[in-house]
Amino acid sequence: MADTVPRLRTAGYNLYYGSFRALRDITIDIPENSITAIIGPSGCGKSTFLRSFNRMNELIPGVTVTGKVLLDGEDIFRADVVALRRKVGMVFQRPNPFPKSIFDNVSYGPRIHGTRDRGVLASIVERSLRDAALWDEVKDDQQKSALALSGGQQQRLCIARALAVEPEVILMDEPASALDPVATMRIEELMQSLKQRYTIVIVTHNMQQAARVSDFTAFMMTDGFRAGNLVEFGATKQIFTTPADSRTEDYISGRFG
Amino acid sequence: MKPSRNGRVTARKAWQGCAFALFWLSGIAAMAVMLAVVGYVVVRGAPELSLSFFTTSPRGGLSGDGGIASTIVATAYLVVMTMAFAAPLGIGAGIYLVEYAGNSRNRIATTFLKLSRFGSETLAGVPSIIFGLFGYALFVTAMHFGFSLLSASLAGACLILPVVVRTAEEALKAVPEGYREASLSLGATRWETIRKVVLPSALPGLTTGIILGVGRILSETAVFYVTLGGSYRTPTSVLSSGRTMALHVYYLAMETRAFEKAMATGAVLVILIIIVNLAINAVSRRLSAGSRS
Ligand SMILES: Nc1ncnc2c1ncn2[C@@H]1O[C@H](COP(=O)(O)OP(=O)(O)O)[C@@H](O)[C@H]1O
Ligand SMILES: [Mg+2]
């Protein structure tokens, strides 16, 4: 890991929902152009941690944080949140395309950020749909409602929509948990092709998936106070073959969780 | 053991039969009452209905001569003006309640939120004449708008505001949270998210609220009795007095001998209101069809 640059970094990071501490003292360096998987039992704070990188937790009343979160060395809490979210895109657990056409879904971000020219938008939409491996299936009918697509197609559309604003980082919260195995496989292949250009952080409850797709794995678990801790972080191969912490070993061998 | 259990089952079945028969009877009775009212009005009013009834204005006086042309115009103006006040205000309040105050930690905002919820629930049960008196005191007298479309539409807006706010709130709450999250995660501001994603997908629900308001204005009499005056002439400005169709029914029945004409006007009104309700059904069907797909 020493030869790669950390794109995302947290240091002594804590998050509270009101008085409940959901994340305790998390310090991690996430390298660029790689896939980092966050695994752990449900309720250990994986989603909360992921949503820290694009400040989505701020939308929830009563959330407070302490510690640092850095993107390319810059404190994200000092940055403009709109600019931050342009750089750090997100794909959600349930496919959530807007009830608009395929074209309008993908062009939504660029339009918000000021691109008006129809031709420019069309080329952004094409590039994003190609990158999301959806172009061939929808190119002839981009005016069709996104809600008419299958679940797997909808999720790839959501990936295309995130790609259209040219982010540096893509956060994915269990992006395949609502999909069938074939659609899941397509999303996993897609992630492999995207990691050349993007830093991907994926939350998954599926350890096989983490082992298959990721370069690095972070294992989280709750401590005695139900706060989420980072137990171990390292190369995926190492985590799954020679974990340093016995709790990691117990978890990946299916002894709990 | 066995026979008695069978006996109990039979008794339970008999009870169920009785209950169903009662429900069926009350259903039939309710339908019959409704049909009787609508049918009576339509049947008694029908002989008066003709093209000239719609195209001539009332002539005033005890005879109740003339048609309902000016009252149709007054009703249309009043509906448009009332909605022009109530729709932006009601939808704006709904947006505030759901999109801003709903997830605010601000004490004042949450207090306001609770108060306005309580307020709109209570106001919905207040007799409409109270709104009328309020409108009379404030708009007709204090603000010197007189008996006019302006006074009446402001009072009417107060009357229907609670229902517009409520339906706007429901419509906005029904927009999946995922849409907002997706939009915000792409770098949209809250306002951009509301304008480009939330409002378009809440549109059928918002429309339902507006049509409900229109129906309320069509059928209201007390509020307009004390704010619109009762002129049977076609209104020429927002400060003109006028007479809605519902008010006209009242005047014809109470102050003229033309009871049949009151019935005819009532019939037109009833049919209009049925159309409005069909429109609400159509819109909400579209709404639920949209959320299914
Ligand atoms: N909006 C919220 N308000 C209060 N507590 C929350 C909220 N969201 C999550 N939590 C709590 O924070 C902890 C971590 O949740 P989450 O990040 O969703 O876990 P995971 O994604 O690992 O299942 C849980 O105990 C959960 O109950
Ligand atoms: Mg989660």
Distance CA B12, CA B210 (A): 47
User: Is residue A133 classed as helix, strand or coil in its secondary structure?
Assistant: coil
Q: Dihedral, CA atoms, B207, B213, B217, B223, nearest 10 degrees?
A: -160
CB-ligand 1 contact for A44 (6 Å cutoff) = yes
The whole domain housing A220 covers 8-252
Three-state SS for A205? coil
Per-residue pLDDT at A5:
64
Helix (H, G, I), strand (E, B) or coil at A141: coil
The answer to the question of residue A2 being in a domain is no
The pLDDT of residue B289 is above 90: no
What is the Cα–Cα distance from A213 to A204, expressed in whole angstroms?
A: 11
What's the predicted TM-score (pTM) here? 0.83
| B112, B277 Cβ separation under 8 angstroms | no
**Contact A17 CB / ligand 1 (< 6 Å):** yes
A41: its two tokens: 């039992």
Please indicate, yes or no, if residue A160 is contained in any of the structural domains. Answer: yes
Q: Does B237 touch chain A (CB under 8 A)?
A: no
Q: Which residues neighbour B86 within 8 Å (Cβ) at sequence distance 6 or greater? A: B156, B157, B160, B161, B164, B213
Q: In sequence order, what DSSP letters do the residues of B229-252 get, joined into one string?
A: ----SPP-STT-----HHHHHHHH
Contact A96, B179 (CB under 8 A): yes
DSSP state of A227: -
Pocket lining: A92 vs ligand 1, CB cutoff 6 Å:
no
B39 touches chain A (CB under 8 A): no
- Secondary structure of residue A203 in the 3-state scheme: strand
| Residue A257 forms part of a structural domain | no
Q: Is A60 in the pocket of ligand 1 (CB under 6 A)?
A: yes
Predicted ipTM?
A: 0.92
Residue A20 belongs to some domain of the structure: yes
Q: Would you call B186 and A112 a contact, using CB atoms and an 8 Å cutoff? A: yes
A1 within a domain of the structure (yes/no)? no
| CATH number for the domain that contains residue A126 | 3.40.50.300
Q: Give residue-wise pLDDT tens across range A136-193.
A: 999 999 999 999 999 999 999 999 999 999 999 999 999 988 888 888 888 898 899 9
**Whole-angstrom distance between the N-terminal and C-terminal Cα of chain A?**
28
At B179-218, the pLDDT tens digits run 999 999 999 999 999 999 999 999 988 998 999 999 999 9
Show which residues on chain A lie within 8 Å of chain B, measured between beta carbons. Answer: 54, 56, 59-62, 82-83, 85-86, 89-90, 92, 94, 96-100, 108-109, 112-113, 145, 147-148, 158, 161-162, 165
**A146-151 own/partner pairs: CB under 8 Å, 24+ apart:** A146/A97, A146/A98, A146/A99, A146/A100, A146/A101, A146/A102, A146/A105, A147/A97, A147/A99, A147/B293, A148/B293, A149/A97, A149/A102, A150/A183, A151/A95, A151/A178, A151/A179, A151/A180, A151/A183
What region does B112 belong to: left with phi over 0, alpha with psi -120 to 50, or beta?
A: alpha
Q: Residue type for B170, please?
A: E
Output the average pLDDT for chain B: 89
**Contact criterion met (CB < 8 Å) for B187 and A109:** yes
Closest-lying ligand 1 atom to the alpha carbon of residue A63: 3
Which of residues 152 through 181 in chain B touch A, CB cutoff 8 A? 176, 178-179, 181
In percent, the amount of chain B with pLDDT more than 70 equals 94
Is residue A38 included in any domain, yes or no? yes
B293 touches chain A (CB under 8 A): yes
**Does A223 map to a domain?**
yes
* pLDDT at residue number A2: 47
Collapsed DSSP state (helix, strand, coil) of residue A29: strand
Q: Ligand 2 centroid to A50 CA: how many Å?
A: 9
The backbone region for A133, taken as left when phi is positive above 0, alpha when psi lies in -120 to 50, beta otherwise, is: left
Say how many domains are in chain A: 1
Residue A3 within any structural domain of the chain:
no
Whether B1 shows a pLDDT value over 60: the answer reads no
Instruction: Identify whether the C-beta of residue B42 lies closer than 8 Å to the C-beta of residue B274.
Output: no
